């Protein structure tokens, strides 16, 4: 069952968007928003009735902005805009992203600065309530002037065109509305433009990936701690005094989590004295510095996306108190593109250091364990090719992590001469998170095997829970067997929050950061 939730004109927390993405929340506009929406709509109607040319109200669009459109054809202008801009290609966006896009569009309109009629917002609310989701092709946006093509496919359903999915069935837009007991809207001045301009699809894609990353990042810390114990590593590098002297909040938080996870390990106690090793390799020792820096990047990106989700991002914008209609560029998705690039870098580096731990655990010279974590290596290959698979996944993510925000191709006959590429910059993040989850799953299988090879010594109480979770879906590797099913099963634990749940609620909250 979905829970009631409200979208306000600004100040909506990330927790709301998480709930919308999962379908737990079917939000409606806060009642306080209606007055601003009505005032903005009156101001737009007044501007449209005037003699002055106003972009998007009584002119063409983009390079055609100098073409004046007569009053009797203004409704036709808006419908033509929605139809002509449906040029998206590729597979449809997944349901969680479309839910987010609908809710984010509603949040943008909530300010009243877009000038739309209240009925349009009410239809968006009703579509969210019924989980009536437009079919939106994933490709075709350059992130300025907003996500034009994908948002045109979203807008088409509101006017009874396009396609939508309702109760699992793909239908023509008009049929989907009718089956849901809804009627299309008749677009007024600027309303097609208000729907098409904006960064809602890019932001939805970035938020979707951010939320998918959260349990994977948390799981990577649990697995990283298990790898330290499997390798008979030291917890001294996680001493809080080291990290306080540097001061980075993510580093401090990660060190605290790693230290708490390892506390009480008999494996650790067994080599406090007499261990000839002076320092561990960086992939063990520098986890707080690397994962902490990634955490700080993710937090910064989350803050950017939270602000973007709460903003009015179409053009032009109306100031109802003065009647002014101002043409600007809030549709330019550069902040989203930068946030997506930051998340991509964090995903890539978390995978890089996890892959290095996979390689370390397979190396008897570094761990004292059998080569490739299997008894009688040579007769058996153990985790040899699983480690190779982790390297392949890490390499793939490195290629995907190249910045999208620095690419720009002028469009619309050079009117839109600098664009953000935010949409595909955000869209690549989902596959990157999947790759990271698989790398962490491979490391988890190796860490569990390594800990068990230390018997009769036992790991810490909390890492024993990690061991139990992994062994519930993947048995120890006694003889060579196909590891692909085990990787799939453990990757499920990484993605669904099972491994992240080994962290205490306060630890998870500290990693998400304030306001998350």
pLDDT tens track for 92-107: 999 999 999 999 999 9
Mean pLDDT, residues 211-236 taken together: 97
CA 220 to chain centre: 17
Mean pLDDT, residues 443-447 taken together: 98
- Please name which of 287, 311, 400 lies closest in space to residue 347, comparing C-alpha atoms: 400
pTM of structure: 0.96
Q: Which residue in the list 17, 55, 238, 383 is annotated as catalytic?
A: 55
Query: How distant, in Å, are the alpha carbons of 285, 296, 480 from that of 376?
Result: 29, 43, 11
* DSSP-derived secondary structure letter, 321: T
Average pLDDT, the chain: 95
In this chain, the answer to whether the domains covering 6-198 and 206-315+345-512 adopt an identical fold is no
- Please name which of 453, 516, 452, 444 lies closest in space to residue 487, comparing C-alpha atoms: 444
Collapsing DSSP states into helix, strand and coil, what is residue 183? coil
- Dist. CA 34–CA 152, nearest whole Å: 24
Position 67 confidence tier, pLDDT thresholds 50, 70, 90 = confident
**Region of poorest pLDDT, from 32-36, 75-79, 257-261, 367-371:** 75-79
Give φ, ψ of 196 to 5 degrees. Answer: -85, -40
pLDDT tens track for 325-347: 999 999 999 999 999 999 999 99
Specify the pLDDT at position 516.
41
Specify the pLDDT at position 2.
61
Q: Please compute, for residue 62, the number of CA atoms within 13 A of its CA located in the half-sphere on the CB side.
A: 18
pLDDT tens track for 462-514: 999 999 999 999 999 999 999 999 999 999 999 999 999 999 999 999 898 75
pLDDT tens track for 504-514: 999 999 898 75
- Which residue bears the tokens 């896009």? 101
Position 515 confidence tier, pLDDT thresholds 50, 70, 90 = very low
Position 4 confidence tier, pLDDT thresholds 50, 70, 90 = low
- Dist. CA 309–CA 353, nearest whole Å: 32
- Dist. CA 416–CA 409, nearest whole Å: 9
Mean pLDDT, residues 144-148 taken together: 90
CATH class of 206-315+345-512: mainly alpha
| Residue 93 neighbours by CB distance under 10 Å | 27
> What are the DSSP calls for 411-445, one per residue?
BTTTTB-----HHHHHHTHHHHHHHHHHHHHHHHH
CB within 8 Å of 366: residues ≥ 6 apart: 231, 281, 360
Position 3 confidence tier, pLDDT thresholds 50, 70, 90 = low
Mean pLDDT, residues 226-235 taken together: 97
- Dist. CA 448–CA 107, nearest whole Å: 45
Position 57 confidence tier, pLDDT thresholds 50, 70, 90 = confident
- Dist. CA 48–CA 61, nearest whole Å: 15
- Dist. CA 299–CA 304, nearest whole Å: 9
55: annotated active-site residue? yes
CATH number for 6-198 (one of 1.10.275.10, 3.20.19.10, 2.60.40.1220, 3.30.420.40): it is 1.10.275.10
Structural domain spans, the chain: 6-198, 206-315+345-512
**Token couple for 165:** 């999915």
| Residue 276 neighbours by CB distance under 10 Å | 5
**Token couple for 489:** 């099963």
Strand bridging mode 169-172 / 163-166? antiparallel
**Region of poorest pLDDT, from 6-10, 59-63, 66-70, 500-504:** 59-63
The DSSP H or E segment spanning 329 is none
Q: Indicate the burial class of 91 (C-beta count within 10 angstroms; 0-12, 13-18, 19 or more).
A: exposed
The DSSP H or E segment spanning 91 is strand 89-92
Mean pLDDT, residues 436-446 taken together: 98
pLDDT tens track for 116-145: 999 999 999 999 999 999 999 999 999 988
Mean pLDDT, residues 81-88 taken together: 96
Q: Which residues pair with 139 in a beta bridge?
A: 89
| Cα-Cα end-to-end distance for the chain | 23
Mean pLDDT, residues 392-401 taken together: 98
Assess whether the previous peptide bond of 145 is cis (omega < 30° from 0). Answer: yes
- Dist. CA 273–CA 211, nearest whole Å: 43
Query: Does the pLDDT at position 286 exceed 60?
Result: yes
Buried b (16+ CB within 10 A) or exposed e, 378-398: eebebbbebbebbeebbeebe
Specify the pLDDT at position 226.
98
Position 413 confidence tier, pLDDT thresholds 50, 70, 90 = confident
- Which residue bears the tokens 């290596």? 377
Angle between helices 14-22 and 287-309 (to 10 degrees): 80
- Dist. CA 52–CA 14, nearest whole Å: 41
CA 481 to chain centre: 35
Helix count and strand count (H, E) for the chain = 22, 9
Give me the helices (H) in 231-275, please: 240-244, 249-262, 266-270
- Dist. CA 506–CA 484, nearest whole Å: 34
Collapsing DSSP states into helix, strand and coil, what is residue 355? helix
Specify the pLDDT at position 366.
95
């Amino acid at each position: 069952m979905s829970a009631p939730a409200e979208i306000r004109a600004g100040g909506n927390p990330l927790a709301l968007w998480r709930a919308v993405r999962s379908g737990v929340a079917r939000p409606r506009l806060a009642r306080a928003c209606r007055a601003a929406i009505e005032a903005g709509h009156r101001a737009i109607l007044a501007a449209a009735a005037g003699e002055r040319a106003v972009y998007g109200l009584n002119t063409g669009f983009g390079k055609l902005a100098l073409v004046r459109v007569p009053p009797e054809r203004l409704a036709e202008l808006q419908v033509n805009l929605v139809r002509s801009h449906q040029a998206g290609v590729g597979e449809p966006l997944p349901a969680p992203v479309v839910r987010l896009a609908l809710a984010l569009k509603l949040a943008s309109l909530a300010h009243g600065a877009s000038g739309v009629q209240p009925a349009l917002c009410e239809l968006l609310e009703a579509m969210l309530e019924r989980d009536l989701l437009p079919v939106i092709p994933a490709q075709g946006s350059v992130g300025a002037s907003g996500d034009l093509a994908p948002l045109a496919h979203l807008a088409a359903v509101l006017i009874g065109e396009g396609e939508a999915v309702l109760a699992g069935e793909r239908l023509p837009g008009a049929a989907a509305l009718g089956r849901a007991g809804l009627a299309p809207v008749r677009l007024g001045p600027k309303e097609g433009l208000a729907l098409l301009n904006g960064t809602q699809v890019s932001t939805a894609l970035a938020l979707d990936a951010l939320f998918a990353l959260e349990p994977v990042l948390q799981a990577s810390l649990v697995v990283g701690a298990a790898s330290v114990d499997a390798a008979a590593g030291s917890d001294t590098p996680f001493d809080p005094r080291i990290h306080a002297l540097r001061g980075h909040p993510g580093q401090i938080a990660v060190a605290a989590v790693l230290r708490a996870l390892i506390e009480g390990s008999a494996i650790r106690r067994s080599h406090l004295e007499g261990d000839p090793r002076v320092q561990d390799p960086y992939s063990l020792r520098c986890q707080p510095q690397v994962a902490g820096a990634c955490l700080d990047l993710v937090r910064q990106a989350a803050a950017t996306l939270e602000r973007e989700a709460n903003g009015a991002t179409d053009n032009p914008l109306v100031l109802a108190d003065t009647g002014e209609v101002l043409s600007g560029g809030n549709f330019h998705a550069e902040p989203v593109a930068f946030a997506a690039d930051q998340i991509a870098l964090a995903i890539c580096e978390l995978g890089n250091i996890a892959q290095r731990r996979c390689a370390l655990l397979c190396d008897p010279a570094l761990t004292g364990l059998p080569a490739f974590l299997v008894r009688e290596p040579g007769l058996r290959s153990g985790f040899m090719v699983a480690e190779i698979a982790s390297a392949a996944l890490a390499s793939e993510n490195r290629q995907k992590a190249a910045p999208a925000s620095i690419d720009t191709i002028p469009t619309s006959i050079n009117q839109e001469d600098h664009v953000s590429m935010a949409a595909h910059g955000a869209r690549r993040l989902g596959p990157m998170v999947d790759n990271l989850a698989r790398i962490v799953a491979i490391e988890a299988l190796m860490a569990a095997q390594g800990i068990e090879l230390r018997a009769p010594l036992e790991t810490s109480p909390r890492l024993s829970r990690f061991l139990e979770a992994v062994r519930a879906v993947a048995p120890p590797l006694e003889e060579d067997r196909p590891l692909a099913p085990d990787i799939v099963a453990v990757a499920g634990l990484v993605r669904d929050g099972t491994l992240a749940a080994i962290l205490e609620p306060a630890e998870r909250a500290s990693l998400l950061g304030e306001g998350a």
